[in-house]
A and B are shown apart, each in its own frame.
Chain A
Amino acid sequence: MSDSAIEAKAAQAETGVSGAGGVRWRDTAHFAVRNPKLLIGAGVVLALLATGLVGPLFIDNPPNAYVGPKSAPPGGGYPLGTTSFGQDVWAQFVFGLRATFLVGLVGGGIAAAVGMVVGFTAGYRGGLVDEVLNMITNIVLVLPALVVLIIAAAYLEARGIWLQGCFIGLTSWPWVARAVRAQTLSLATRDFVDLARMSGRRAYKIVFREIAPNMSSYLFMTFILLFGGAILIAAGLDFIGLGPTRGVSLGLMMHSAVSWSALSGGMWWWFVPPGLGITAIVGSLYIMNVGLDEVFNPRLREL
């Protein structure tokens, strides 16, 4: 065909962009809205997130302010009662939810980002780069995070939520890196990667636009698991007293409840709400993950 013929054809060709790319997402959405596990899990998590985001707007005093009568049971002006110092448990709970979600987001986000970068690089580059990154991954994997945190706590006077999130993120990425590396190794041998190389694509574009989309559902689920994991680790650290030295979180609430004998004093309203909150968030995230697995994996779909 001559150039002029191409021009003529070009002139009459409509700029039709294929709509096929949308089919997959419509398909996924179709199964997502019909999956009870996903809906229940996401519903609980979103409800708690909304509580954490909106609740503090209606509370005038800081969460740790001594505002009410001491050790008051739920009722009256204090829906969840007060602590033995007269702090509002509801105020602490909603602020604590906020902190808990923040830790999950920061910790899970950092772990996912570091793990993916390390995993993709090691898996795609291979050779010496792979060896070195693998060595680092294995070292961090066996590093006892708790011991490191105790040492860090000894040096750091004031620790905040962000620092805790970063710490959790920087110690929980190795398994992501290993899993991503393994998947990348297998995908990188496929011919479409060679074809992309022969199309003059740069390595990072091949990784993020050819290889990563093939495991996008896996990466998304990884992030959800990391999110829940970070919340759980943070609660554990808070509870044993290695949490933030300022602010409030669900784990810190339980820590002070135990420290000030809420259990023996029968003040159940002090420790039950944060415990339930953490259980509900982490549990719902795991249920959500099972639901997502069913949505993304056609073999698990219930038609």
Chain B
Amino acid sequence: MLDLRQVSKTYRVGAFGGRRLHAVRGVDFSVRPGEVVSLIGESGSGKSTIGKMVLRLISASSGTIAFEGADIAGLRGHARTKEYYSRVQGVFQDPFSCFNPIFPADRVFELVRAEYAGAVSQAHWRARVEDALTTVGLDPAQVLGKFPHQLSGGQLQRLLIARALLLDIRMLVADEIISMLDASTRIDVLNLLGDLKARGLGILFITHDLSLGNYISDTAVILRRGRVVERGATSAAFSAPAHPYTRRLLASVPQLHTSWQQADARLAQEGEGECPGCAAGGRPGEHGPVDLADDHAVGCYTAA
């Protein structure tokens, strides 16, 4: 459904744009209907940039992003953009910044109504909104007509998810949507994503939290400095990580019965191993991910 091929994003920085900043470099992956793909990486690994490129909020410098076979860079004109957004929606990390502070929070629904459901009667629309709010576990009476500063971060975040549900979407980009929620609402939102997945939506789940990525996703894409370091079925990537970075990442998750020293010692003992891409004759630091198994690929070990 969604296919990224060699997608890169480069920014010009510094005086006169003399220097280049490579935010995303040659990323490939796909999202199928009913599949949750996690983009996992540390801050600055380019995961949110990829999400914004998929949402067409920024354009890719090179490579193609295709949705249902059509390159989204080719969607010219307002009507086709609008059509795209009726299929693909996103929920962002910071719910406080997603609401215009001077309007009531439910204005986000009004915008959707104004653009996509102008013909729907007020009462019918209200029923649809209340239905969507109930789906995300909010009491309509508590949130409708309130200003953003009168609502909690969790409520705002769920309002945004409800907004995405008002449209008949096929793909959801969820950019760190759990980070601002407390533990009790987290599981509700995760289960909600599970429901959406069961309905056949493709979900691009962007997170820096390994356990969340492990919990929810079918496929994990681990990014570092804009490059894919490991990509594969979540079970494979998490149980048999190949790339040294992934192994280090997994080892750095705090565990009850293992101290940091033990984890470090185990990593040192295992060693980094040899990069399969370089071993097969690829140029170190430049070759793309190579397949280890059917659904498991690993990037170059030496890439900076």
Contact = CB atoms under 8 A, between A and B. Distances in A.
A9 B130 CA distance: 9
Interface string A3-33: 0001101110111101111001000000000
Given A7-B124, A18-B144, A191-B94, A198 B85 contact: yes
Contacts of A6: 124, 127-128, 131
Contacts of A260: none
B100 A20 contact: no
A89 B81 CA distance: 64
B11 to A, nearest CB: 13
Interface of A: 1, 6-7, 9-11, 13-16, 18-21, 24, 190-192, 194-202, 210, 213-214
B124 A10 contact: yes
Contacts of B122: 15
Contacts of A20: 104, 145-147
A169 B219 CA distance: 60
Given A9-B127, A202-B78, A214-B101, 7 more contacts: A18-B145, A19-B145, A190-B97, A191-B94, A199-B111, A200-B85, A200-B116
A11 B126 CA distance: 10
Contacts, number: 89
Interface in B77-110: 78, 81-82, 85-86, 89-90, 92, 94, 97-104, 106, 108
Interface string B130-160: 1100100000000011110000000000001
B57 A194 contact: yes
Given A13-B127, A15-B122, A199 B100 contact: no
B304 interface: no
Contact of A192 (B57, B97, B128, B134): B97
Contacts of B104: 18, 20-21
Contacts of B101: 214
Contacts of A21: 103-104
Given A198-B90, A201-B111, A210 B124 contact: no
B294 interface: no
Contacts of A198: 55, 57, 85, 89-90
A15 B122 CA distance: 6
B258 interface: no
A194 B103 contact: no
Contacts of B94: 191
Interface of B: 52, 55, 57, 78, 81-82, 85-86, 89-90, 92, 94, 97-104, 106, 108, 111-112, 114-116, 121-124, 126-128, 130-131, 134, 144-147, 160, 163
Nearest to A202: B78
Contacts of B52: 194
B126 A13 contact: yes
A21 B86 CA distance: 28
Contacts of B57: 194, 197-198
Contacts of B163: 195
A200 B81 contact: yes
A162 to B, nearest CB: 36
25 contacts: A1-B131, A6-B124, A6-B127, A6-B128, A7-B127, A10-B127, A13-B123, A16-B126, A18-B106, A20-B104, A21-B103, A21-B104, A191-B92, A192-B98, A192-B100, A199-B85, A199-B108, A199-B111, A199-B115, A200-B81, A200-B115, A201-B111, A201-B115, A210-B100, A213-B102
Contacts of A1: 131, 134
A133 B263 CA distance: 58
A210 B114 CA distance: 14
A20 B101 CA distance: 13
Contacts of B55: 194, 198
